[in-house]
Structure 1
Amino acid sequence: MTNLSVNINKVATIRNARGGNMPNILTVAQDCEKFGAQGITVHPRPDERHIRYSDVYGLKPLIKTEFNIEGYPCEKFVDLVLKVKPTQVTLVPDSPDAITSNAGWDVKSNFELLSELADTFNSNGIRTSIFVGTDLENISFAAKTGADRIELYTEPYATNYPINKENAIAPFIEAAQYAKGLGLGVNAGHDLSLENLAYFSKCIPWIEEVSIGHALICDALYFGLQQTISLYKACLQQ
């Protein structure tokens, strides 16, 4: 079964809007696990506009499932990951001022950097995942870096799903099959939601993990966090 990792960045955004500690990030992460999430994802950025570096250190001893830290591998980020030693690090090519991740790596152009990072993290017992699109040559280079997994950037799927779901999913099936054949584990994330997740999971049932934040937290405003996590997990169990 595909694991659900809840990205709690948006919860931190709400907290930071008023200062103080409401909602409490540590409590929310523990509640997500209690309600059935199989992982917690955070994406700290240099300006700490949502998840703060101190949050990451605070979460480490509390997380009982898989802890996934994603972000651009600047020196400060790499130092954080090596100190915290999460289950997984997901390398994302976004600039420090990006609102959200909007593209995967050009692995060929960044091959030396990504290979060195994969070696560093793997030697410290940290699973390494590279955020990529569906281009097969790019995925081939990702496998050559020594990374354990890729995470497929699924915004194009989510955008095209309401128009033609078969066309939307086709390149992701091909990419996931190709990656699997290369020995890579396959994760997925970005704009997956209750509208499109079940079909994605049905078509690519061997996906290891989906990381979902924005849509899930928005749905929790209506359904509550516990029910929302149950609804997302149900999409992955069909």
Structure 2
Amino acid sequence: MSVRDTTSGQARPLILVVEDEASLVTLLRYNLEKEGYRVAEAGDGEEALTVLAERKPDLVLLDWMLPTLSGIEVCRQIRRKPATRELPVIMLTARGEEGDKIRGLNTGADDYLTKPFSLPELTARIRALLRRAQPVAEKGTLAWGDVTMDMAAHRVTRAGKAIHLGPTEFRLLQFFMQHPGTVFSREELLDAVWGPDIYVEPRTVDVHIRRLRKALHCDTETDIIRTVRAAGYALEAASAA
């Protein structure tokens, strides 16, 4: 196995780099450690799952094209397992077509970077995603309709049932619940949830909205995310309709 990690500074975030190109792994390790992160490596998809079973990193940088098991399948398995379903994942790939980006996001990736990418952009996206993944500082709860968000415990329920959300979907729902009934454009949601210093394509918002809807809605539940044609999205409860 090619898994290695630094041994000092255990409080620093641990990033798992899943990439089979040795020169890129070396470059990423050097720059990530310079930014203060700990780094673990896996050279293929099966090895990545082995590492994840042994220890949980704070974020995964996941190449799409991997030996033994594709990055897409690794991402699917990350999202299927309760222990890792909320783990932040950034997909790295040479595939630049919009359809490929949407496929990667639909599989469960939180962000997507096309090779070649700039290291400052990568580290900025890592910081933003780790920030979104941290429990919110606010205390107390938010409630709208039958949805309750315990911000201190980072827990969401609907009609008493636990709802499992990734970090981006949690922040989206938090923002909506803090501004119920208000319609926000994709650009406004990007600024509020991703941050104004991070460039993310507006279509990315649509993917995360779909994931939020899927998590919130069972067959018997009402859709509380309203799509406003040519304007954006808003949160509304059935009782507010």
TM-score bracket for the superposition, by shorter chain length? 0.3 to 0.5
Higher Rg of the two aligned structures: 2
**Greater relative CO (CA pairs within 8 A, separation 6+):** 1
The TM-score, its normalising length taken from structure 1, stands at 0.33
Tell me the TM-score normalised to structure 2 length: 0.33
Tell me which protein shows more helix as a share of its residues. 1
